[in-house]
Amino acid sequence: MDEESIKQGYEDFKGAKNTTELNALAQKNNLETARLQSFVDIILDRHIFDGEQLTDLFAPLELGWKDRRTKELALMEELSPLLRKMAEGRELSGLEAYDE
C-alpha cells in the first residue's frame, strides 16, 4: 500500500466511525438519521451552529417547549464533542453556548 491508499483508508475509517456515532445519537434521541446527518453537514459546511436548526430538528417529535429544550440539551451534550472532532480544529461559531 502506498501513502495515499493509507490516508484514504484512514479517512474512510473516520467517516464510518462518525456515521456510526451519529446513527447511535439519532436512535437514542428518536431522530431521523438523515435529518441529524443533514443538520451536522450544514454546521460543518458553514462553520456556524444555528440554534433554530436544532429546534427544527426536533419539530417532528411534536414536543412541548420544556421537553424539547431538555432533549436539545441532552443531544448537544453528546453531539458537541463529536462536531468539534469532525471539524478537525476549525472553529464552529455558536457552539460555545454548549460548552461546559
pLDDT band at 2 (very low <50, low <70, confident <90, very high): confident
Question: Could you give the CA distance from residue 40 to residue 94 in angstroms, rounded to a whole number?
Answer: 13
User: What pTM was estimated for this model as a whole?
Assistant: 0.83
Domain spans of the chain? 3-98
Predicted pLDDT at 38: 94
pLDDT of residue 62: 93
The three cell numbers of residue 32 are: 431521523
Task: Specify the pLDDT at position 96.
Answer: 86
Alpha helix ranges (H) inside 29-64: 33-46, 51-58
Residue 67 DSSP one-character state: H
